[in-house]
Chains A and B, each alone.
Chain A
């Protein structure tokens, strides 16, 4: 019996070889980070600076009877104390519908500081700032808070009961989506087997290395300037709204971010800092402690997901009925959109003609939930990929075969009727990930080895009815060096570097000759959020356009100087060359370019440059400048704009495009101790085009680890609204010792809508890891665990239940 799966041959695809793109170049942000020169948000200080702290609710649900801050105000060294009473109109807009001009969702605002009622443990109630951090902390202790505890609601099912205490609106419903495609009744009737299962996933904490931090001051123009680690510099608008001041009076200077994962997508410290800087007229610093970062910021949504799937004996799925229930926590934040993502991806990368999905998110007195790498996708994938293996089990067919029969292909439509336009290499990825596992490790009596894999598809780019845009400016200096200005926040994934590599490619300069200024709402063109796996797609296309305009000037001037046609000019390694005149000794610039003819017969040659390296780019720049050709350009890239979904059927387009891939693992389960060891891990994704393959591999390796942690240890435990895992001592995330390095297989179909055919990989990298583990554990034990994470308790119980189960034969 062979353990091997044969990789499916790749369909024909075209991948031009380029000069800077596709090379694992040293990232532009690497040196500063390596030598400690990068000044992160919490590292920054200013003269005369005050230190801020936030007073937070110690209870999950209550009425504020007294909030007396007079003693805190009176403490020597305290500069300012603010409560909700001081800011009756300060509202935090948690809904950011993009540039659509649409109104915000009703009821989606949160108070900046609680007024009358507190709705979750950790809700901000008062701000203090003082001459030192110690004084600010002492002042917090002097705040006199009396409350009347109110009955709370601590699970979404309870929240939806008619008599439940109300956290939001008059029914606690924060969002609902419904999808109706085809005829589910008919589809179920056509099925030979119907499989129904319910899956659960917990709260998860982002646990990035850098807690939220910032410094704010009022500049000499009166502009409130906030230097902060954020994924969204456009929050200057949210801050302006909360403070009731014009948007051009707030500036957000983003810093290099020590990890975001969605946790820095919502406002964190910005409004607090702005309020205190305005109130005191002095610079103010606020840095969350790790415990505060846990308590105060969003979590990944817990979901309960039920799948009822109709399937023919042949393996063809005829109908899917899916319900989803998500915990929104105390305030809506991005819940409606997370729920939409989960809904749109609920059925996985499978072609199903008859679909009915009902999803709802309910408000509770729990931590608020919002964006987290995958944005609803990982929860959906845990359920749909577990369900696929359960269907395979019911039909006694190979899980790979079942998926092969049902995979979405290019041209097929998703549950909302959106057509897949790019390559859909699900099988190509799954077979490669499985093949990479190699020979199977044998069992021992108390150590059962299992294998599993999961496929997924996931959007990149924002919801298309948000009318997403990005801007970037590219300019050539007179010495042939390049400056890029783009409001892109770099959250550690190499966002800035990729833009530089694209510009270097287009302008024919080495990467070292490109300098980028990023993430400043006042001086860099707004590029939108570093969320939704959108920056390479959006800002990558924006710099591509901007650099293209500059390139056109250079090519025009070079053609003139070389005496050749425009098509004959290439920009390569600081030189403008006539491709037709490249003689011996001229370094080849890569074997082809998509846009330029490869070779031309030499005819009208300029003998001076024939056989040489061509013209130094700096000379071309000088001449182009002298003749007034534009050497800088501000470009705007617009994503496709669509209207919203049909409210009855949920049909319509949601996203620009999708990434496809798979993750496979081999694990060993200790049936007596409940421990699970990951023996092998392999991930294969079609990234479209890897701009910097080292960065891509880093994203996949990191995403895999984070996903394995989701499967095996991460759980933010909340009991009756109170966190039971308040720090990294209780909330465990994987270390580098816990799992083997993931074998990363990068495929490049070149069919994405990003620059050079790139797709997005930031979020997708995480999605399939947990369901792959789920399927491997089920394979090892013969019994499935339906909730994450797979703790020893659950594993031992499953091992008991699976003791006498006969495992199906599998060729891998």
Chain B
């Protein structure tokens, strides 16, 4: 099918954009368009007015403060992949970006579009979940900040109201020793949706004891989730192969694959185990960054 008829609005400021979203019925934001244009062409999504937010200055850039990293919602995956700030503070996210789609899509797709879509197989969501990220939403009524974990409700469902824009994603700078790892399992090496995503962010002290563990999964449940029980089982423990294996088994319990895809539980368990072991090993070498 060809694209249906629609109107494009190109607001110059965040305020203008929010005004359009609050006033124009059937208006919907568009950033990279890598989801929306596909849906519109397929006829599954038919906004009458499309509000281009890709050029809004307030939605751009990757910044670091003393305590936080802030990523504008319209930042592309390619920009994140090349960011020195993320390379320093959030390798788990950079690794997620490197397995994202292909170079063409990465040049257009944005982190905001990825999170708002809330697809089960979002690659940025699990990485950002391990960073305990928070999203900032804005509307003409004001701003609100929500933990990403709360923002993602279910498959293709978030708490975002239709007049709200996702402005930015932020997370506290992880400890200097915290070590991140990410693995996407798919049927193909590029241009492929995840069958399973696993992200971990691990921290420990000099004795090899785990001081913090965050584990997130995607594509193994309706929407990306944290494996909290697995995390709890690790904190305070020595990162032995046994402790890691036990945590991996618990992580698989956090997954809820569709009927017929039970094999994903096995994959989750194996990948969590491997990523934890990888991160634990890096920790013993002084840790890297997230």
Question: A137, A737, A793: which contacts B2 (Cβ < 8 A)?
Answer: A137
Closest A residue to B38 by CB, please name it.
A729
Q: Quick one: which of B1, B189, B261 contacts A737, CB cutoff 8 A?
A: B189
A-contact bits for B161-205, CB 8 A (1 contact / 0 none): 000000000000000000000000101111111011000000000
Decide: B187 and A672 in contact? CB cutoff 8 A.
no
Contacts A134-B2, A792-B263, A796-B263; is A675 near B188 (CB within 8 Å)?
Answer: no
Q: Is the CB of A137 within 8 A of B1?
A: yes
Interface size on B, residues (CB 8 A): 20
Q: Are A675 and B2 in contact (CB under 8 A)?
A: no
B271 on the interface (CB 8 Å rule)?
Answer: yes
CB neighbours of A674 from chain B (8 A): 263, 266-267
The reply to whether the CB of B55 lies closer than 8 angstroms to some CB of chain A is no
How far apart are the CA atoms of A738 and B1 in the complex, in Å? 30
Q: Is A732 an interface residue (CB 8 A)?
A: yes
Q: List chain A residues, Cβ under 8 A from B266.
A: 672-674, 796
Q: How far apart are the CA atoms of A289 and B192 in the complex, in Å?
A: 21
Number of interface residues of A (CB under 8 A): 22
Residue contact B195 to A792, C-beta cutoff 8 Å: yes
Q: A137-B1, A673-B270 are in contact. Are A738 and B185 (CB under 8 A)?
A: no
Complex CA–CA separation, A734 to B267 (angstroms): 22
Query: Known contacts A732-B188, A735-B188: does B267 contact A672 (CB below 8 Å)?
Result: yes
B191's nearest neighbour on chain A, judged by CB, is A735
| Complexed CA–CA distance, A732 and B193 (Å) | 10
Main secondary structure of the interface of B (DSSP, over half): loop
Interface mask (A774-786 → B, CB under 8 Å = 1, otherwise 0): 0000000000000
- Residue A133 interfacial (CB < 8 Å): yes
CA distance A674 to B185 in the complex (A): 10
Residues from chain B with Cβ under 8 Å of A793 in the complex: 261, 263
How close is A209's CB to chain B, nearest CB, in angstroms?
15
Q: How far is the CB of A136 from chain B (nearest CB, A)?
A: 9
Partner of A792, one of B185, B190, B191: B185
Q: Is the CB of B267 within 8 A of A732?
A: no
Is B2 in contact with A713, judged by CB distance below 8 angstroms? no
* 8 A Cβ contacts from A763-812 to B: 791-793, 796-797
Asked if A45 lies at the interface with its beta carbon under 8 angstroms from chain B, I say no
Residue of A137, A673, A712, A732 near B192 (CB, 8 A) is: A732
User: A673 and B188: CB pair below 8 A?
Assistant: no
**A673, closest chain B residue (CB):** B267
CB distance from B261 to the nearest CB of A (A): 8
B289 CB → nearest A CB, Å: 27
The CA of A737 and the CA of B102, in the complex, are separated in Å by 11
A446 contacts B by Cβ under 8 Å: yes
Indicate the member of B187, B192, B267 with the most A CB atoms within 10 Å. Answer: B187
A504 to B195, CA, bound (A): 53
For A729, the chain B residues whose CB sits under 8 A away are: 38, 193
CA distance A137 to B1 in the complex (A): 7
Q: Using Cβ atoms and an 8 Å threshold, which residues of chain A touch B270? A: 446, 672-673
Is B189 touching A675 in the complex (CB atoms < 8 A)? no
Q: Say yes or no: B263 contacts A738, CB within 8 Å.
A: no
Q: From residue A714, how far is it (CB to closest CB) to chain B in Å?
A: 10
Contact of A738 among B189, B195, B261 (CB under 8 A): B189
CB distance from A633 to the nearest CB of B (A): 50
The residues of A that contact B271 with a CB separation of less than 8 Å are 673
What B residues does A791 contact at CB under 8 A? 187
- Chain B residues near A134 (CB, 8 Å)? 2
Please give, as numbers and ranges, the residues of chain A lying within 8 Å of B195 by CB-CB distance: 792
Mark each residue of chain A from 14 to 49: 1 if its CB lies under 8 Å from any CB of chain B, else 0.
000000000000000000000000000000000000
Which residues of A lie under 8 Å from residue B188 when comparing CB positions? Answer: 713, 732, 734-735, 737-738
Q: A137-B1, A673-B185, A675-B185 are in contact. Are A792 and B267 (CB under 8 A)?
A: yes
| CB neighbors of B among A720-768 (8 A) | 729, 732, 734-735, 737-738
Interface positions, chain A 669-722, Cβ under 8 Å from B, are 672-675, 712-713
A673 CA to B270 CA, complexed, in Å: 7
Pairwise interchain contact A732-B2, C-beta atoms closer than 8 A: no
In the bound assembly, the distance between CA atoms of A479 and B203 in angstroms comes to 81
**Distance of A803 from chain B, by nearest CB (Å):** 13
From residue B263, how far is it (CB to closest CB) to chain A in Å? 5
B2 partner residues in chain A, CB cutoff 8 A: 133-134, 137
Taken together as a complex, chains A and B put the C-alpha atoms of A643 and B151 apart, in Å, by 72
Contacts of A732 in B (CB 8 A): 187-188, 192
Interface bits B38-70 vs A (CB < 8 Å: 1, else 0): 100000000000000000000000000000000
Contact between chains at A737 and B190 (CB < 8 Å): yes
Chain B 1-30 interface mask (CB, 8 Å, partner A; 1/0): 110000000000000000000000000000
Chain B, Cβ-Cβ closest to A677: B189
Q: A735 near B189 (CB under 8 angstroms)? A: yes
Expressed in whole angstroms, the minimum distance between the Cβ of B34 and any Cβ of chain A is: 11
Residue of A nearest to B263 (CB): A793
**Central interface residue in A673, A734, A796, by most chain B CB within 10 Å:** A673
Using CB atoms, name the residue of chain A closest to B271.
A673
Residue of B nearest to A729 (CB): B193
Closest Cβ–Cβ distance, residue B226 to chain A (whole Å): 21
Q: Which residues of B contact A737 (CB under 8 A)?
A: 188-190
Q: What separation, in Å, do the CA atoms of A618 and B270 have in the docked complex?
A: 74
Complex Cα distance, B2 from A134, in Å, reads: 7
Residue of A nearest to B269 (CB): A672
Return chain A residues, CB-CB under 8 Å to B185: 673, 675, 792
Neighbouring A residues of B1 by C-beta, 8 Å: 137, 289
Complex Cα distance A668/B188, Å?
A: 15
> Which B residues from 68 to 124 make CB contacts under 8 A with A?
none
Q: Say how far B10's CB is from chain A's closest CB, in angstroms.
A: 23
Interface residues of A in 544-591 (CB under 8 A from B): none
Question: In the assembled complex, how far is the CB of residue A710 from the closest CB belonging to chain B, in whole angstroms?
Answer: 13
How far, in angstroms, from A345 to B78 measured CA to CA in the complex? 50
The residue from A133, A675, A735 contacting B190, defined by CB atoms under 8 A apart: A735
Query: Known pairs A735-B188, A738-B188, A791-B187. 17 more at Cβ < 8 A?
Result: A289-B1, A446-B270, A672-B267, A673-B196, A674-B263, A674-B266, A675-B185, A729-B38, A732-B187, A732-B192, A734-B188, A737-B188, A737-B189, A737-B190, A792-B185, A796-B263, A796-B267
The 4 residue pairs across chains A and B that have the minimum distance between CB atoms: A672-B270, A793-B263, A737-B189, A737-B190
- In the complex, 17 of the A-B residue pairs with CB atoms within 8 angstroms, ordered by the A residue number, are A133-B2, A289-B1, A672-B269, A673-B270, A674-B267, A712-B187, A713-B187, A713-B188, A732-B188, A732-B192, A735-B188, A737-B188, A791-B187, A792-B185, A792-B187, A792-B195, A796-B267
Residues of A within 8 A of B (CB): 133-134, 137, 289, 446, 672-675, 712-713, 729, 732, 734-735, 737-738, 791-793, 796-797
